A and B are shown apart, each in its own frame.
Chain A
C-alpha cells in the first residue's frame, strides 16, 4: 500500500500565483488533514475533514481553501500565494479519534513550497 501520497513534492511560485496541492490515501480512512511545518515550530493544522463531505478550519486557515473530493482525496488550494506561505505542507489521514481509537495519524512525504 502507498499510504498517503502528495503531489507535487516541490513547487516554486511567484507572489499572487495560485496552485493546488493534491493528497490521496488508500487506507480507507475517514479523516484527512493538512498541516504546515515551519522551522522551529510544531506542525500547525490548516484544515481538516472529519469525514467525506465535511471540512473545517484549523489553527491557520487564512489564505487557503480545501476540497474533500471523495473519501480518498483531499486537496489544498492557495488562491493568491504570499511569501508567508513558504513552508512544507503535510497531508495526513486517520480514523476519527474515539474511546476505542487513538486516531493515529499517517503522514505523506510532504510538499515543499517556496513563494518568491
Chain B
C-alpha cells in the first residue's frame, strides 16, 4: 500500500534554532515529492517540489533533500522564526498524469517559541 510517514508528529524548538523534519514513503512508481506549509486555520502552501532526479532544493531558509533510493526526504529549517510555527506536510506523487495519485502525509506540527 502506498504510504507517506512523517516524523516527528510534533516538535517544539526555540526561535533561532535549526530543525529537520523527516518523510519516509513507499509510493511506487514515484514522480515527485512536495513539501507544503500549513498555518493554523489556513490552506497548505507549497514550499518545494522535487523530481526523482533532484537531491536537494532550497526556498529561503527551507531546504528539502531527497534520497530516492532509500525513499526518504527531509525538510531542514534554518534559523527558525516564530512565523515558522505551522504544520509541514510531505506529499508524494505517483505516475505523471495521475490526478488522483497524490499521497499526503499526516504532517509534522512545529511550534517555535521565543
Contact = CB atoms under 8 A, between A and B. Distances in A.
Contacts of A90: 43-44
Interface residue tally on A, bucketed by range: 20 to 34
B42 A40 contact: no
B19 interface: no
B100 A58 contact: yes
Interface in A1-17: 4
Interface string A88-99: 001010001111
Contacts of B4: 42
Nearest to A49: B99
B99 A97 contact: yes
Interface string A30-52: 01010000001111110010100
Given A50-B99, A104-B46, A43 B104 contact: yes
SS class of chain A's interface: helix, strand, loop or mixed? loop
B109 to A, nearest CB: 11
B98 A97 contact: yes
Contacts of B105: 42
A93 to B, nearest CB: 11
Contacts of B41: 109-110
Given A43-B104, A107-B44, 19 more contacts: A40-B106, A42-B89, A42-B91, A42-B103, A42-B106, A48-B99, A50-B99, A56-B99, A92-B43, A97-B31, A97-B97, A102-B49, A102-B51, A103-B93, A105-B44, A106-B46, A107-B43, A108-B43, A109-B41
